Amino acid sequence: MYFLFINFKAYREATAENSIKLIKEIEENFPNEDRIIPVLNPLDAMVRTKLKKFIQHADPVLSGAKTGHIPVDLLPEYGIKGVLLNHSEKRINEVDLKKTIELCKENRIETIVCAESLDEIRKFLELRPDFIAYEPPELIGGNISVSKSKPEIIQEAARIIGEKSTFIVGAGIKTREDVEKSIELGAKGILVASGIVLSKNPIKAIQEMLVWKE
């Protein structure tokens, strides 16, 4: 099983009404598709979907007097199945990361932890997240993909992670070739934002990136 995570970030094209629109288009064009996982902005946590829904951040707290926080134990109430943690645009300290992952496990919320280097991958692997995403920050949002630019690191990361977690890669992924290369190098899925969300035709972009069979 391979995964296509679509990070909606805080792009206007994929938040508020546009997040509903994009989700609907994806559902209509890819019915019963469990390979596509939208990673929504927390403001859009209520968006209804048949897709497996993740959000972009959660805090290491439980519900209660927690103004402005995203408590982990509330996520299931919103139909959220997983959370993206430590994205390079939303870094968190290691203590909070560990606590958040523990709370997610207790509340049956899956976790993707982003890592910027092999050292971070080694370190975060000990926290046993469900997914580890390698994203070199300098390539995020650009046109040079992680698979073109860092093939050796992807290969080594796949070796280190093995069966301990599910390894995905992201940053600059725009084409079918980028995806095929990522898979060939050992990734079990991809994490994409601008290549889909900012594309003139997001559905076509998704079609292009779904290179693997069920």
Q: Which residues bind ligand G3P (CB under 6 A)?
A: 7, 87, 135, 140-141, 170-173, 191-195
Q: Which is nearer to ligand G3P, 45 or 131 (CB)?
A: 131
Helix (H) or strand (E) holding 21: helix 17-29
What is d(CA 210, CA 75) in angstroms, rounded to the nearest whole number?
28
Nearest to residue 115, comparing CAs of 153, 146, 82, 86?
A: 86
Q: Which neighbouring-strand residues pair with 39?
A: 7, 54
What is d(CA 96, CA 154) in angstroms, rounded to the nearest whole number?
26
At closest approach, how far in Å is the CB of 179 from ligand G3P?
11
List Cα–Cα distances, 75 to 23, 64, 98, in angstroms.
19, 13, 18
Q: Which is nearer to ligand G3P, 61 or 70 (CB)?
A: 70
Active site residues: 87, 135
At closest approach, how far in Å is the CB of 60 from ligand G3P?
21
At closest approach, how far in Å is the CB of 157 from ligand G3P?
16
Q: Which is nearer to ligand G3P, 121 or 191 (CB)?
A: 191
Q: 179-201 burial by CB neighbour count: b if 16+ within 10 A, else e?
A: bebbbebbbbbbbbbbbbbebee
What is d(CA 10, CA 46) in angstroms, rounded to the nearest whole number?
15
Q: Which is nearer to ligand G3P, 154 or 192 (CB)?
A: 192
Q: Which is nearer to ligand G3P, 61 or 194 (CB)?
A: 194
At closest approach, how far in Å is the CB of 174 from ligand G3P?
8
CB atoms within 10 A of CB 152: 9
Residue closest to ligand G3P when measured from CB atoms: 194
Instruction: Give the tokens for residue 15.
Output: 């938040």
At closest approach, how far in Å is the CB of 114 from ligand G3P?
7
The residue count for the chain: 214
